[in-house]
A and B are shown apart, each in its own frame.
Chain A
Amino acid sequence: MTALLEVVDVTRSFGAVAAVQGVSFPLLAGEAHALVGENGAGKSTIVKMLAGVHRPDTGTLRVRGADVEFTGPADAKAAGIAVIYQEPMLFPDLSVAENIAMGNQPLTRLRQIDRRARHANAERLFGRLGVHLDPDRPARGLSIADQQIVEIAKALSSDARILVMDEPTAALTAVEVDRLFAVVRSLRDEGAAIMFISHRFEEVTALCQRVTILRDGRHVCTEEVAGLSVDDMIRRMVGRDLSALFPKQDVTPGDVVLEVDGLGRAGVFADVSFQVRAGEIVALAGLVGAGRSEVMQAVFGVDRYDTGAVRLFGRPLPPRSPRAAMTAGMALVPEDRRQQGLVMDLSIERNVTLPRARKLSRLGLLWGGRERREAGTWTRRLQTKLGRLSDSVGTLSGGNQQKVVLAKWLATSPKLLIVDEPTRGIDVGTKAEVHRLMSSLAADGLAIVMVSSELPEVLGMADRVVVLREGRVTAQLTRAEATEESVMYAAMGRPVTAP
């Protein structure tokens, strides 16, 4: 097999931080090649170099043996590289067909855009992908999975021979992942080179032949996937052995803290009821799109609900008021850290003390260093790695950002902590720290609701598992009852078939 693309000794720094240092690996025609590493290992930087967004400081990229220098994404596209990002990059106002054709619009003889050819092309691609999407509808309002499909159609339409996929499965259901993999395999068999980035090792082993592992911006190894166990990969990513990923201590549950009673919202979820006791970790499991985050956001009051009630220590909470929920002792660590959890432009200390600014003020004024002291206390307690508290929170790595979100809410001394995908997109080491923290908080009597898409995390951490499917509770399992099979059965509403 020949190398379609070679990354040769590339280095790239941002400010004082070296994101990628001297990384080399080839991408062969007809292979699916995984790129794995913890967050901050340099995966996205490499993706952005291949996409033409960043230029390497030193080192080169070679396409079909020739050195290339991309001055922008257009150059990378012209070189036959298509990149599919974790978050789809569509134009909401334009039609699906036009989204697919953008940058490569078919023209009539008068150099006008050939709408008919464009439409036919979209139909043809959707046929190939085996999906039914209306090419004339606007991209606005498409589900994440459908947006991802449009992205893939886009890549197919440009006849790219090198396909870079940055965590394309993060928001997809199992069925959709299967369909995506089928398409990727057929592309691979036609001789395309696929670069596949994922945090899910089962996907790496299912799809890829070779894997390149990065650690702290450096190349660790490039090897056949078949010769590596998942443990091997983790060890090389982290550089040390990991024990006890999910150390939940056993706790005798206390009084009921949270009661969710018949909560419903038209078209999103219906008749959701469950209880959480002090010292308990209750996991909300289910497929992406089952309505788990929506339920918890309604419980916390950032979103509305139409029916039902939420009670904390037996007292009903007013709907649509995060402030009332906070005052009553509730805290929500949201799913989307960058958009919901943190104000990226503000400093670390302002972020930590944002919900508590009122409490920290004296006579309504915030003088002196009270915010800084409070922020210092909590970031130290969570062992957050940071420069100065006055740095903007955007300068931190993903794992440390998550610690800042946790610090921000733990500082409010909550009685009920809701964590939504608490370890999504953070590295394995920090993940273990977060799990240890949650466990010890529960041991101290905190009631925790955890929304998680990672089954091992759910099974390892939860005292009880509440499973949602299409907005309804389909099972409430105790720790003993909860197995991969029982949870997946409830989540999919049918027996699990072998993958």
Chain B
Amino acid sequence: MSSLATAPAAALQGLLRARELGIVLALAALVAYTAAGNPRFLSGQSIRDILLNTAILAVMAAGQAVVVITRNIDLSVGSVLAVSAFGVATLMSANPSLPIVVALLAGLAVGAACGLLNGVLVRYGRVPALVVTLGTLYIYRGVTYSWAGGQQVNADELPPHFLRFANDSILGVPWLVLIAVVVIGGVSLMMRNYRLGREMYAMGSSPQAAELAGIRVARNTIGAFLLSGALAGLAGVLFAARFGTVDAAAGTGYELNVVAAVVVGGVAVFGGSGTVWGAGLGALLLTVIGSALAVLDINQFWQQAIVGALIVLAIGADRLVAVRIAGSLRKRDSHV
């Protein structure tokens, strides 16, 4: 073990870490610039709003990150959110005495069922994930519309403790934010330190090698979609609690924001690399951009364009880093 041999590996790890570091720096710069322009941006209420808005996106991004790491994609998350949000809102308005925990579990269960169907179709139906989840994007949305039949659940129909949940805090941390942090932390830990997570990275890195290595690809694929679905379902409950008014159009188009957060957060679109907490940072960055534009009085319409540019920039940067690493590794080999 010479120091020469470890140098490129260390450099590589540094670069990978730099990806998350890059987001943190971009965030810091953005926050500093915005706060300099308008100090209200750093007020407690403003920060609270940003974190609450991030929470829902970040929970979904955690699940999506896992799916993308296994070299799949889940486009149905926006529709799963709608099924869950509408279902839980209906449940709570009909049974106002139910505790929050039941609502959370119901959302998780609905989402898990949706995710399970996705996973089974991908694995056992041998249908590409893009096709399956594009299909179920329509199906789950259609189911919600049929169920809602043009109706919506209004805030005044929901029990007060359910709505308070979105604004209540524990030790100064809003429940929604706490849930998001726990989800990001838990899933990150699973992906980093547990066999299941490492096998998911392996599957994304080389599906063929994963099969031959005896990894239980079927279980893990279905597990990834199940997780993504369940977390989208959980996000649905958070959505219902936060906004109070839920109709069948809830979360329309969210899938693109979620994928954007994951990609900006440094998860490779073709699987095998990236981190869950990076995806969480991606969600935070996207939300902060939105808030900063509002605070800086920049035309709100710029937000989407900036998000788009950011996605392109992020994958471009990844590509550059990959080329650099490949170059440095090759150079090292030619010296041996």
Direct contact of A and B (CB under 8 A): yes
Q: How large is the interface on B (under 10, 10 to 19, 20 to 34, 35 or more residues)?
A: 35 or more
Out of A85, A98, A111, A136, which one reaches B212, CB within 8 Å? A85
A51 cross-chain contacts in B, Cβ below 8 A: 212
A132 cross-chain contacts in B, Cβ below 8 A: 1-2, 5
- A89 to B, closest residue via Cβ: B209
Expressed in whole angstroms, the Cα–Cα distance for A423 and B239 within the complex equals: 63
- A92 to B, closest residue via Cβ: B205
Whether B194 contacts A111 by the Cβ 8 Å rule is yes
**Which of A29-37, A137-145, A231-239, A297-305 contacts the other chain?**
A137-145
Given A74-B216, A134-B6, A137-B8: A93 touches B272 (CB 8 Å cut-off): yes
Q: Does B43 interact with chain A (Cβ within 8 Å)?
A: no
Whether A73 contacts B214 by the Cβ 8 Å rule is yes
Q: Does A335 interact with chain B (Cβ within 8 Å)?
A: no
Q: Does B329 interact with chain A (Cβ within 8 Å)?
A: yes
Q: Does A324 interact with chain B (Cβ within 8 Å)?
A: no
A111 cross-chain contacts in B, Cβ below 8 A: 194-195
Q: Does A497 interact with chain B (Cβ within 8 Å)?
A: no
Whether B201 contacts A83 by the Cβ 8 Å rule is no
Whether B330 contacts A140 by the Cβ 8 Å rule is no
A102 cross-chain contacts in B, Cβ below 8 A: 198-199, 202, 213, 215
Distance in Å: Cβ of A193 to nearest Cβ of chain B:
20
Out of B5, B194, B205, B330, which one reaches A93, CB within 8 Å? B205
The majority secondary structure among interface residues of chain A is: loop
Provide the A53-82 mask, 1 if CB < 8 A to any CB of B, else 0: 100000000000000000011111110000
Whether A113 contacts B206 by the Cβ 8 Å rule is no
Expressed in whole angstroms, the Cα–Cα distance for A141 and B6 within the complex equals: 15
Provide the A127-161 mask, 1 if CB < 8 A to any CB of B, else 0: 00000111011101111000000000000000000
Q: How many residues of A contact B (CB 8 A)?
A: 39
Out of B12, B195, B212, B215, which one reaches A107, CB within 8 Å? B195
Whether A112 contacts B194 by the Cβ 8 Å rule is yes
Distance in Å: Cβ of B1 to nearest Cβ of chain A:
7
Q: Does A94 interact with chain B (Cβ within 8 Å)?
A: yes
Whether A267 contacts B334 by the Cβ 8 Å rule is yes
- B334 to A, closest residue via Cβ: A267
Whether B215 contacts A138 by the Cβ 8 Å rule is no
Expressed in whole angstroms, the Cα–Cα distance for A123 and B198 within the complex equals: 20
A267 cross-chain contacts in B, Cβ below 8 A: 330-331, 334
- B273 to A, closest residue via Cβ: A93
Provide the B182-216 mask, 1 if CB < 8 A to any CB of A, else 0: 00000000000111001101101110111111111
Q: Would you list which residues of chain B between 116 and 134 have a CB under 8 Å from chain A?
A: none
Expressed in whole angstroms, the Cα–Cα distance for A53 and B6 within the complex equals: 37
Expressed in whole angstroms, the Cα–Cα distance for A95 and B212 within the complex equals: 18
Expressed in whole angstroms, the Cα–Cα distance for A16 and B273 within the complex equals: 41
User: For chains A and B in complex, what number of residue pairs have CB atoms within 8 angstroms?
Assistant: 103
Whether A94 contacts B202 by the Cβ 8 Å rule is yes
- A51 to B, closest residue via Cβ: B212
Q: Does B333 interact with chain A (Cβ within 8 Å)?
A: yes
- B268 to A, closest residue via Cβ: A93
Distance in Å: Cβ of B269 to nearest Cβ of chain A:
13
| Chain B CB within 10 A, most for which of A78, A83, A93 | A93
Q: Would you list which residues of chain B between 1 and 56 have a CB under 8 Å from chain A?
A: 1-2, 5-6, 8-9, 12-13
Out of A72, A74, A77, A134, which one reaches B1, CB within 8 Å? A134
B193 cross-chain contacts in A, Cβ below 8 A: 112-113
Whether B9 contacts A113 by the Cβ 8 Å rule is no
| Chain A CB within 10 A, most for which of B214, B215, B326 | B214
Provide the B164-176 mask, 1 if CB < 8 A to any CB of A, else 0: 0000000000000
| Chain B CB within 10 A, most for which of A52, A90, A138 | A138
Whether B194 contacts A91 by the Cβ 8 Å rule is no
Expressed in whole angstroms, the Cα–Cα distance for A123 and B5 within the complex equals: 13
Distance in Å: Cβ of B66 to nearest Cβ of chain A:
15
Expressed in whole angstroms, the Cα–Cα distance for A90 and B202 within the complex equals: 9
Distance in Å: Cβ of A377 to nearest Cβ of chain B:
37
Whether A92 contacts B272 by the Cβ 8 Å rule is yes
Give the 8 A-B residue pairs with the shortest CB-CB distance, closest first. A74-B214, A141-B329, A93-B272, A89-B209, A91-B205, A93-B205, A73-B214, A112-B193
22 A-B pairs whose Cβ atoms sit less than 8 Å apart in the complex: A53-B212, A89-B206, A89-B213, A91-B202, A91-B205, A91-B210, A92-B272, A94-B198, A102-B199, A102-B213, A102-B215, A107-B195, A113-B198, A132-B5, A134-B1, A134-B8, A137-B9, A137-B329, A138-B9, A138-B12, A140-B326, A141-B329
Identify 7 new A-B residue pairs, CB closer than 8 A, beyond the known A91-B205, A91-B272, A137-B8: A72-B214, A92-B205, A94-B198, A94-B201, A132-B5, A140-B325, A267-B331
